[in-house]
């Protein structure tokens, strides 16, 4: 019984707004982030269930969408959390360049796949692609077991979606707040669907964080 899951990046958070890397820190949504969640709800269509990371920027986004859709309660799963950014959590890109010169790769050289981040230097406490992918795949299986052959919205984080795309051979491209990727889950097999942007049809501003 294949499930169709729409993995969606949360709305703009307070740290997204100022360019701070979040990792597993827990800043809330901005007012724009809440507006993006409402716009996403109008665009997402019908789903059978809504899941989210337990971090509040994702959970708040999911709660807004679920309330608008009349689907709930939202099921929060710690396995859907953002990557632990270690000592980079709370820093801006400029601060990372200053304190860790040469560590951040150019976007053209970014990859998110098993073993890929071994080619780049990372700070203490950084969660590797392999570690991130392992726990995210376990969480996706939990969603699959609940949803069966239905459709689910899964509100999560940029790093989570990037590592799934990387596993399935998709090259890296930045994802907006409220952007997402459809995947199909059939047992242990994953299939890659289309990318979507859920906040671009009603004039709600689109924001594209450059963290992670």
Q: Is 82 a catalytic residue?
A: yes
Q: 55 Cβ partners below 8 Å, 6+ apart?
A: 24, 26, 81, 82, 157
Active site residue 10: yes
Catalytic-labelled residue, pool 82, 127, 165, 211: 82
Residue with tokens 């998709």: 170
Q: In this structure, what DSSP letter does residue 70 have?
A: T
Whether residue 119 contacts residue 172, with contact meaning beta carbons closer than 8 Å, is answered with no
Q: Which helix (H) or strand (E) holds 146?
A: helix 129-147
| Distance in angstroms (rounded) separating the CA atoms of residues 157 and 180 | 10
Q: Which of 10, 127, 144, 211 is catalytic?
A: 10
DSSP letter, residue 129 = H
Q: Is 87 helix (H, G, I), strand (E, B) or coil?
A: helix
Catalytic machinery residues = 10, 82
């Amino acid at each position: 019984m294949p499930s169709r899951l729409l993995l969606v990046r949360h709305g703009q958070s307070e740290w997204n707004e100022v360019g701070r890397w979040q990792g597993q820190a827990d800043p809330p949504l901005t007012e724009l982030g809440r507006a993006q969640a409402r716009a996403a709800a109008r665009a997402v269509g019908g789903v059978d269930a809504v899941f989210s990371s337990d971090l509040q920027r994702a959970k708040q986004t999911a709660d807004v969408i679920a309330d608008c859709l009349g689907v709930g309660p939202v099921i929060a799963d710690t396995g859907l959390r953002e990557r632990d950014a270690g000592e980079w959590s709370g820093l801006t890109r400029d601060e990372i360049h200053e304190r860790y010169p040469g560590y951040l790769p150019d976007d053209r050289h970014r990859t998110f796949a098993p073993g890929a981040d071994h080619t780049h230097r990372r700070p203490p406490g950084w969660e590797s692609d392999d570690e991130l992918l392992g726990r995210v795949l376990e969480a996706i299986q939990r969603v699959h077991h609940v949803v069966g052959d239905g459709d689910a919205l899964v509100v999560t984080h940029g790093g989570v979606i990037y590592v799934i795309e990387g596993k399935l051979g998709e090259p890296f491209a930045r994802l907006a707040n409220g952007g997402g990727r459809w995947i199909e889950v059939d047992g242990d097999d994953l299939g890659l669907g289309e990318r979507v942007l859920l906040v671009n049809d009603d004039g709600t501003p689109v924001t594209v964080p450059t963290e992670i």
